[in-house]
Amino acid sequence: MVVVPPNSTLYYEVELESFVKERELWDMNTPEKIEAAGKKKEEGNDAFKVGKYAMATENLLVIRLENLLNMTPT
């Protein structure tokens, strides 16, 4: 076992093996937008429960933005 001395600087090399890009809002139809918003809400709630408040806020802001973009004038 290797012991790292206190105050040492550690460097890590990380390799991204895969990445799935989410579809853009304007590329989705209404049912897809509703499904995506539900997933974002769930992710935000899960993040909030474990104390990841910045991630929770980001997910909930995305939902709010999607709702605003989907509003139709009356």
Per-residue pLDDT reduced to its tens digit, 4-59:
999 999 999 999 898 888 788 778 888 888 888 888 888 888 888 999 888 888 87
Cite the beta strand spans of 1-74 per DSSP E: none
| Cα-based distances in Å from 24 to 28, 40, 62 | 7, 14, 12
**CA-CA distance, 1 to 28, in Å (whole number)?**
51
Quick one: pLDDT at residue 72?
52
Quick one: pLDDT at residue 74?
46
**CA-CA distance, 1 to 20, in Å (whole number)?**
37
What's the one-letter identity of residue 32?
Answer: E
Residue linked to tokens 């809002």: 25
Which letter does DSSP use for residue 22 in this model? P
